[in-house]
Amino acid sequence: MVQLTYEIPSKYSAHDVQKQIDALVATCGADIEIVDYAGRVGIRICIEDLPNKIDVDHALIDKMKGMDVLLGYDRNRTPIIHTFKHPHMIIAGEPGFGKTELLFFILYQWIKRLTPNDLEIHVIDLKGTSFIPFIGIPHLHPIATDLDKAYETVKRVYDIMIDRRDKVLERGDKQLLRQLARKKHLLVIDEAGVIAPKLWAGDERKTCQKIDGYLSQLLMVGRELGIHVFYCLQYPHSDYVNPQIRACAGGRLSFHLSKPEFSEVVIGEPGAEKLSTPGRAIYKTNKSITIHVPYMHDLEKRLEAMKCDARRTMRNGATCVEDNADHVHRSNQSFLSLRPLPVQTRE
């Protein structure tokens, strides 16, 4: 790989250079990556392409700690790690290009490393079948497969967040905040466009508006309170994407999308429409990088082994305990005494 770095005239940005990428590719005869250095732009000439398939490096995963996850590898075969300095993430991609496989790979890493006392996973999947391999994993709450259950799921996570916030405010104790936030609650919304209020009418639309309002609050306030949102889409039309996720998602990743405007919604720039290889994605935090996501061919087998271990543990008398009195209450307890945050809805 060769990188050339240029100063950008003040009236232009790396985004303007990105728009000329087709001409740059034709000129260089190789793939091009644009890197934004805030006033300078790096033009990477990629002499060697990424491989079409990369196997999982389990030894690397075993060395990782906390909520860090391996996403894939760049053109130099450098592992690309997502850290939770960026607590919320948007993942997009059309069917068949790797979005669901990556999401499963991320969840697998956390389930392998963290106990149900460290992490609880709340999933909304209106298709109802995508997460079948995870059923029986003790970290996972029942999957929400219709709008009413989706509302209950988002409200449950919202109530956990408010309960934590109010405990901290009542005691005025920053240490308690860190203690409560050690236990993570991950909300995964698969094909989030389906719950966009504009797609519904009547009571269903009102339910979606409520979901949208609670989701916005989770995105804005949840970070310090141990709440994380993964917002996943196949067709990220700007009219159907919660605007707060675009503002708050510090991590953005896109596989192939059919239109440059869809790419703009997810990663803030065109480029995802040019990805043609399954497993190839653009990952963006403060800068964009093209990666290839590893393929985990034995995921379901490994999940089944984890379920067997969990059942064996339960038979031996161990139970998954919730947070104690200084931590969050169980999600089915009353939160009527809490002072909820104002919830805004959108049409």
Annotated binding-site members for ATP: 93-100
Q: Alpha-carbon distance 215 to 172, whole Å?
A: 26
Half-sphere exposure of residue 97: CA atoms within 13 angstroms, side-chain side: 24
Output the known binding site: 93-100
DSSP class per residue in 73-133: E-TT--EEEE-TTS--EEEE--TTSSHHHHHHHHHHHHHHH--TTTEEEEEEETTS-TTGG
Write the secondary structure of 239-307 as one string of H (helix), E (strand) and C (coil).
CCCCHHHHHHCCEEEECCCCCHHHHHHHHCCCCHHHCCCCCEEEEECCCEEEEECCECCCHHHHHHHHH
Distances (CA, A) of 328 to 177, 183, 321: 11, 9, 12
Q: What is the largest CA-CA distance in the chain?
A: 67
Q: Which of 121, 94, 122 is nearest to 235 (CA)?
A: 94
Q: Alpha-carbon distance 286 to 253, whole Å?
A: 12
